[in-house]
Structure 1
Amino acid sequence: MESVGGESADGVRVRLEGWGEGDLWLLRRINSPEMTEHLGGPESEEKLLDRHRRYLELDSGRMYRVMLADSGETVGSIGFWERAWRGGAVWETGWGVLPEFQGRGLAARAARAVVQEARAAGGPRWLHAFPSVEHAASNAVCRRAGFTLLGPVDFEYPKGHWITSNDWRIDLSAG
């Protein structure tokens, strides 16, 4: 399954392709200190291997490689998965765009495409994103992708590491 997002300001489109066995290299690239600064820092190789396995075996939701639609070049990852939130089930999303592709609007295009995928999957009405309040770029992605800011919350990610995040959500029943 793949989904193509609309064009960004420079005319570049993104495509989402389901996470595959050969995508561990991308997790390793995203695991850099620069890319995990707002997420508690890099994970061990053991945790990366476990994450890769979980991505491949997701029962509820889906992980994707984000690619440039025209060239097929991989630029990052995005996905959605079910979580309990405030007494109910919601979808949660998260993404990472490799440093050399940042600042081009690709993450917002991928976020809009993952909204379509979550909507098509059925399930929870709401899709949430929880970027750190200090992560200006990810908060801007939420805004550009059409999410509504609900405000700051204490959020545990990764397990045992508490941060103050913004709770952004989008209604999947609308649209």
Structure 2
Amino acid sequence: MTDSLTLAPWSEQGLDLLHRQNTPELTEHLGGVESTEQVERRHERYLALTGGQMFLLLHEGEVAGSVGYWTHDWQGRDVYETGYAVLPAFQGRGLAVQALLLCARRAGREGTLPWLHAFPSVHHGASNAVCRKAGFELVGEVAFEYPPGHHIRSNNWRLALAD
């Protein structure tokens, strides 16, 4: 892991990042590009998040993406769900894997739930590779709704959290 990679708590800087991430390329597997109002509401939800935390991914001091975890009711049980995105200029360097591992450590230290799950589309090869490289276990394929009203086939990856 590189010393130049850090996670910073979500802040007002995150709004600019969300706008930069709101491209067809980065939202292809997430229901598509959002309106300005939807991006602003997402930012406000991230600032107010309880039961987890969103982070800015900083690479050599520059905002390179986002990662976070939050409580999710999965099949009648609370688990942590995670999500991550790296801007195209920073992709291909292993930053998503490193960020996901740092986020998992935070969830394990600060949270109370035993599992961290990721639900990338079965068609999103890069995101599934991130989960595999970060040591997540592939539980199987599932029906998943994200964003609300948008149904996809996802892989259910999970990682046991420990301090």
TM-score by length of 2: 0.97
Q: Does residue 128 of the first structure (1) align with residue 117 of the second (2)?
A: yes
Query: What CA distance in whole angstroms lies between the structure 1 residues aligned with 2:118 and 2:150?
Result: 17
Match of 1:40 in 2: 31
Count of aligned residue pairs for this structure pair = 163
Match of 1:108 in 2: 97
Query: What CA distance in whole angstroms lies between the structure 2 residues aligned with 1:172 and 1:62?
Result: 15
Q: Does residue 64 of the first structure (1) align with residue 55 of the second (2)?
A: yes
Query: What CA distance in whole angstroms lies between the structure 1 residues aligned with 2:96 and 2:126?
Result: 9
Q: Deviations over 1:13-62 (max 9, x none)?
A: 41000000232000001111110001110111111111000000011100
Gaps of 5+ in 1: 1-5
1:121 deviation in Å?
A: 1.3
1:95 deviation in Å?
A: 0.5
Match of 2:140 in 1: 151
Higher normalized helix content (fraction of residues): 2
Query: What CA distance in whole angstroms lies between the structure 2 residues aligned with 1:170 and 1:146?
Result: 7
1:63 deviation in Å?
A: 0.3
Contact 1:39-1:157 at 8 Å conserved across structures: yes
Q: Does residue 22 of the first structure (1) align with residue 8 of the second (2)?
A: no
For 2:153, give the aligned amino acid: T
Please report the RMSD computed on the Cα atoms of aligned residues, expressed in angstroms.
Answer: 1.1
Query: What CA distance in whole angstroms lies between the structure 2 residues aligned with 1:23 and 1:153?
Result: 30
Query: What CA distance in whole angstroms lies between the structure 2 residues aligned with 1:128 and 1:59?
Result: 17
27-36 vs 12-21, which deviates more?
A: 12-21
Aligned 1:3-14 pairs, distance under 5 A:
6-7=1-2, 13-14=4-5
Percent identity of equivalent pairs = 53
Gaps of 5+ in 2: none
For 2:9, give the aligned amino acid: G
TM-score by length of 1: 0.90
Query: What CA distance in whole angstroms lies between the structure 2 residues aligned with 1:105 and 1:24?
Result: 24
Query: What CA distance in whole angstroms lies between the structure 2 residues aligned with 1:95 and 1:158?
Result: 15
For 1:170, give the aligned amino acid: L
Match of 2:81 in 1: 92
Q: Does residue 118 of the first structure (1) align with residue 107 of the second (2)?
A: yes
